[in-house]
Structure 1
Amino acid sequence: MSPSPVTFGAASPGPAGGGRPKLERAYLELRHPPGDGGTSAPGPHLSRIDFQFNPKELSLSKQARWERKTARGARTAGPAEFKGPEPSKLSLEMFFDATATHGDGVVVAVEALFSCCVPTAQTHNRRQGTPPFVVFHWGGLTGFVGFISQVQAKYTLFTAGGLPIRAVCQVTLEELSGSQPGQNPSSGALAARRVHRVVAGDTLALLAWQEYGDPAAWRVIAEANGIDDPMRLRPGTALLLPGPEEPRDHG
């Protein structure tokens, strides 16, 4: 049984006919690791962790690894040799507050984040031991696909009985090894993408035609979602649709 979404309440829709726009709530989508135990495209949807409040800032980092060989007694530094790029990292802050209810929502949310650093039950049973893969979503910004490498939680308020009801969490996501399908490795791993919920009659070719005007671009969608059999789409499945510029990158 998949774990339930961790949420503190959905965003309120805006008034009909215009007015204030609908608030887009950020969330982390947890996905099953690939069945082969590798770091290819993430598997099906597992669960999600909602932001109670949208992040005030996002921090992206990218490093290049260089190495210098030194000689004993040399008066100058040796030439630098490029060894390759380090993975992109996305750091963000998640704030949880349950002072209005004095419930255990804060504890549940923090435990859900910590669970992203341990193997899923399915991979543990298969003795592969892989934590869930994570996709960061915020409106049309859904391009960072990776895993959570670090979680730091600081409880700042408690009930009289000692139950934490407020917490600030620092979360670091690290991109998967290699360039993921539909991802420009120099873009910082954030791109405008969209999530489509499969309905009866959907096919990858139809979605590619509707999204990009090219039914042959179905392979991009298949790769981005780790789909081996494009003829078997289950209604209700959430598909990650790469940005419109990405099919050209795969042409």
Structure 2
Amino acid sequence: MSTGPLVKAKIQSIEGKKIEVTCLFNPKEYQLQRSNNWGSAENSTKNAFDLTFSGSSGAKLSMQLFFDTYLQGRAPGSSEAQDVRVYTDPLWQLMNIDDTLRDPKTQKGRPPRVLFTWGKNWLFNAVITSMQQQYTMFTPSGMPVRAMVTVEFQESAEHRTLMADGTSARSEAIRDVAASVAGDLRKRFR
């Protein structure tokens, strides 16, 4: 087990408007799910069906993120804790339609693709498909200071990433995003 510094999990847009969310607390657990699709054809001479592979779905990642500003500290110049929505609203922005990300055929915008990172070795290229936020603690004035956010991601093979010089590069390979965020991992494990 590593004794290095704690690395915070992050969720960031990899296209469109630049949005980055650093988790106040890392997830205590997460769930990965993936499925293969099999079709069956009836066969009157056997007790079991003949199965035919018909495709695979990308992985799904789900987790709960805990946000707490009550214990974290007070807002500058205030005796009250900071509103927790300062930290959770950017997550909701990652679900909003970005008009700069238009489909060439329909000219309709869409939400951005995102990258979930936790340290330099854990990257998940995806879109956010679902989010639910529950406020669990409030100040006497009614301001939320604690929230639990459940986020579900769907893996995305295609992405557009912004390079350091501001140009856009398109790739089908997650290793390109991984290299831009974490460097060349092959060199680290030789």
Work out whether the TM-score is over 0.5: yes
Q: What are structure 1's unaligned runs of at least 5 residues?
A: 1-19, 34-44, 181-196, 200-218, 226-237, 246-251
Match among 33, 58, 63 for residue 92 of structure 1: 63
Which residue is 2:78 aligned to? none
TM-score, structure 1 as length reference: 0.55
Give the Cα–Cα distance (whole angstroms) in 2 for the partners of residues 120 and 242 of structure 1.
Answer: 31
Structure with bigger strand share is 2
Provide the identity percentage. Answer: 26
Structure 1 segments of 4 or more deviating over 3 A?
73-78, 124-128
Q: Determine helix, strand or coil for the equivalent of 2:54.
A: strand
Matched, 1:244 2:167: no
Q: How far did residue 86 of structure 1 move?
A: 1.0
Does the 8 Å contact 1:116/1:131 carry over to 2? yes
Matched, 1:26 2:9: yes
Matched, 1:118 2:89: no
Which residue is 2:82 aligned to? 103
> How do 1:1-251 residues align onto structure 2 when only pairs under 5 Å count?
21-32=4-15, 46-70=18-42, 76=47, 78-99=49-70, 100-101=73-74, 102-104=81-83, 106-123=84-101, 127-177=107-157, 224-225=176-177, 239-240=180-181, 241-244=183-186
Q: Determine helix, strand or coil for the equivalent of 2:92.
A: helix
Change beyond 3 A, Cα 1:118–1:76? farther
TM-score, structure 2 as length reference: 0.71
Q: How far did residue 171 of structure 1 move?
A: 1.0
Does the 8 Å contact 1:120/1:132 carry over to 2? yes
Q: How far did residue 118 of structure 1 move?
A: 2.2
Q: What are structure 2's unaligned runs of at least 5 residues?
A: 75-80, 166-170
Q: Determine helix, strand or coil for the equivalent of 2:101.
A: helix
Q: Determine helix, strand or coil for the equivalent of 1:144.
A: strand
Q: Determine helix, strand or coil for the equivalent of 1:224.
A: helix
Ranked by relative contact order (alpha carbons within 8 Å, sequence separation 6 or more), the top structure is: 2
Q: How far did residue 113 of structure 1 move?
A: 1.5
Q: Determine helix, strand or coil for the equivalent of 1:114.
A: helix
Give the Cα–Cα distance (whole angstroms) in 1 for the partners of residues 102 and 92 of structure 2.
Answer: 16
**Number of residue pairs the alignment of both structures matches:** 164
Does the 8 Å contact 1:27/1:48 carry over to 2? yes
Q: Determine helix, strand or coil for the equivalent of 1:172.
A: strand
Q: How far did residue 83 of structure 1 move?
A: 0.9
Q: How far did residue 85 of structure 1 move?
A: 0.8
